[in-house]
A and B are shown apart, each in its own frame.
Chain A
């Protein structure tokens, strides 16, 4: 491939720039476009190919259509599910807003599944209870097994109608930030032809999704590389609670693909190599519907103690065959075909081999419940960064605390996408004009966009390839920062990640063309993954307790006295901590209790 010169840099101005066109980004952009603001949405893939499309299980809201329910019980479950690390003001806000978020989606055209009486069908998911920890609740609304798809497509259509400006297949590299700390937009490039565009904006919202690609075995698509988190870190913003990474208990063993919790919600259960229903021992009450970290850990222990299944005893089995072909075909058709396609196994006849798989990034860019990115400044733990917002999986508002409940993420992205937009609308009333943007700031960021340009065939030092480094990083994270962790394993992991980051400087990209140069895109993505990995493994190494998804063999108990606080990790300052907001908006706080299911 011959390398050609880049075209001259283009400059554009908008009231708001949104980076990311998943459910979080599109909910926000819709609100803003409807308020007659000029909104640009940048997405590295076509918007309806965003990862939100993969969410099958559904979205939580206490509608009480199937069983008695209310937002306060939902709030309790979320606080408890998050192992008391969630911020209770944000959790109250989200749970109260949930029913309205569902009704809104209905107005936008999402075809929710119905009960015979015409009301929205709600299924039981792990971690849902009535009466503050009592009987199982049924809180998850779904559009068959394509909820994410239905939400994403409806939101996209609404945005087209509202005249949101889309930059499809543009890759955002870095934020523009002036010396006073204001964020003034971002620099992006067109993946198709390499054209660099400087997008100036009075407000910028990061909605770039999660970072599942950190791990070798994951449910996440290839696009989930934590780009927004990497951008934030390079702009001097710490990442919060990154040690809390959710491993979904039921990934297809060895492959990573998700078998949704819905399968257990419909009556499926796990068995070990002795044919025993293992969850009866670990969670006598909730059994197979206990919270995800509890189930993941149970599977890990069974396998580690030699009670796994298969020739290598390296997984357990998820049994569905007793449900009968009709129920499986009607309620879980996607799962059935996934198993047939990738494993050659029909779950209506044989059980599915499963093992925990990296699924959800609880941590992220710290925000308050208005979506503003907040950082510690002197004695204030949460000072808003002017002009910068974050929402969705890339953010940590912290509603999920140490562990997210199934069905709470779609809710999170919609509620806080909307909340961020509301705050932006108010902010723009006070801040009507674009701040001056120095050429020097632009040049600084444009240089970063060109950082992989000169290292083609001619570079003599470039010896590393993106593919090798990425594989090594994912393996290192899997081995050293997985379901079970201890000091030595983590320490070795920290060293490995730091080494990999050094080696990243010598990365070589052979293809220096500008047309669909995915090699270059992958280099930027890997750079982001490296930053996220560093924050994750340092935070995990430092946290000497077990809480939610962060499970330390050497510190098996939760330690509220020392560790009921949020971790923050930045390139500049390393680790720092801030208190959990335990005070809700209008109700009493839920004090920490042992988390038993």
Chain B
């Protein structure tokens, strides 16, 4: 059974691009429960970004100026795929 957190995130991680679906769902399934409460707030904030901005950050085309967002981005990028 999925945790509450994962259920709440599962729809927010349905995006317009396959790349985002893959990166975000991989992270939510494996790592999201390990976030601190402050990091969770920033993950929520990150999910509210437009898809293209999110894609740029998660693919490393741009770097978040807010270090807390940058940390989350790094966590997502470094979650290995199966």
Residues in A lying within 8 Å of B, measured CB to CB: 44-45, 48-54, 146, 149, 152-153, 169, 191, 218-223, 255-258, 333-334, 337-338, 340-342, 510-511, 515-516, 518, 521
Contact = CB atoms under 8 A, between A and B. Distances in A.
A338 B14 contact: no
Interface residues of B, number: 25
A342 B19 CA distance: 9
B14 A340 contact: no
B18 A257 contact: yes
User: Which of B18, B60, B81 has most A Cβ within 10 Å?
Assistant: B18
Interface in B6-43: 7-8, 10-11, 14-23
Interface of B: 1, 7-8, 10-11, 14-23, 50-52, 55, 58-61, 77, 81
B7 A518 contact: yes
Given A50-B16, A221-B16, A510 B1 contact: yes
Contacts of A48: 16, 50-51
Given A146-B52, A518-B7, A49 B59 contact: no
Contacts of B55: 334
Contacts of A255: 22
Name the prevailing secondary structure of the B interface residues: helix
B18 A53 contact: no
A1 to B, nearest CB: 8
Contact of A518 (B10, B15, B77): B10
Given A149-B51, A516-B8, A49 B61 contact: no
Nearest to B50: A48
A53 B17 contact: yes
A45 B59 contact: no
Contact of B59 (A146, A219, A337, A516): A337
B79 to A, nearest CB: 11
B5 to A, nearest CB: 11
Nearest to B60: A337
A334 B59 contact: yes
Given A48-B50, A341-B60, A341-B77, A256 B15 contact: no
Contacts of B61: 333-334, 337
B51 A53 contact: yes
28 contacts: A45-B11, A45-B16, A48-B50, A49-B16, A51-B16, A53-B15, A53-B17, A53-B52, A54-B16, A149-B51, A152-B16, A153-B50, A191-B11, A220-B18, A221-B14, A221-B15, A221-B16, A221-B18, A222-B14, A255-B22, A257-B19, A333-B61, A334-B59, A338-B59, A341-B23, A342-B81, A516-B8, A518-B14
